[in-house]
Amino acid sequence: MQWTTDDLLPNLIRRLRKRTRPFVSIVTPDGGLEHLSVEDIHNASNRAAWFLHQNLEKDEERFFYMGPSDIRYLIWVLGSMKAGKCVICPSPSNTVPSNVRFFSTVGARKLLYAPESSNSLQPLFGSIDGTTTSVSTPPYLEMLSKEAVDEFPFPFTFDEIQYKPCMGLHVSNR
């Protein structure tokens, strides 16, 4: 049975992007209030997808992302869907040894991280050196820049991706 692709999240966002009212109001990393439109989320997810296209090998289906608890998690999920990848979000509450074991179990080769989290992630970086490559992502303001980004193609049909994971969320039991 052929299912429609219209309601897949990247297509839904693309279809709704011309709405002008705020889609979501968020607290920025500096504590300010920001109103984002669907177009802002769409543009940022294209930026994320292009970043993944440039920084992951074609056969790298999974990658880790760690950063502050903000809108970028949604942006990386949308970007990973567009790029045909799977973002794995480890718990920042886990100990370094727990995350090292988790990284080894999952087997992804890249850890993308928000530059704002670089200092707090240094102990983890030292422990995964040689097994997982750490890659700094664009900072918050660059990810959410209003500067238009080329559309990242999303050619998948529902049948092609219905069983393909697009994200994994690992939570601690603390």
Q: What is the pLDDT of residues 106-128, one digit of tens each?
A: 989 999 999 999 999 999 999 99
In a domain? residue 3: no
What pLDDT was estimated at residue 4?
Answer: 64
Q: What average pLDDT does this structure show over 68-75?
A: 93
Contact (CB, 8 A) for 14 and 153: no
In a domain? residue 2: no
In a domain? residue 123: yes
What pLDDT was estimated at residue 116?
Answer: 95
- pLDDT tens for each residue of 76-117: 999 999 999 999 999 888 899 999 999 999 989 999 999 999
CA atoms of 69 and 30, how far apart (whole Å)? 12
In a domain? residue 1: no
For residue 138, the enclosing domain spans 9-148+156-169
Smallest CA-to-CA distance from 113 within 68, 146, 66, 160 is with 66
According to DSSP, residue 53 is labeled: H
Strands across the sheet containing 133-136: 133-136, 110-113, 62-66, 86-89, 167-169
Total domain count for the chain? 1
In a domain? residue 107: yes
In a domain? residue 112: yes
In a domain? residue 4: no
- Token pair for 154: 């999303």
What pLDDT was estimated at residue 64?
Answer: 96
- pLDDT tens for each residue of 1-30: 456 677 677 777 777 777 878 888 988 888
Residue 114's CATH number: 3.40.50.12780
- pLDDT tens for each residue of 133-173: 999 999 999 999 999 999 999 888 888 888 887 878 776 65
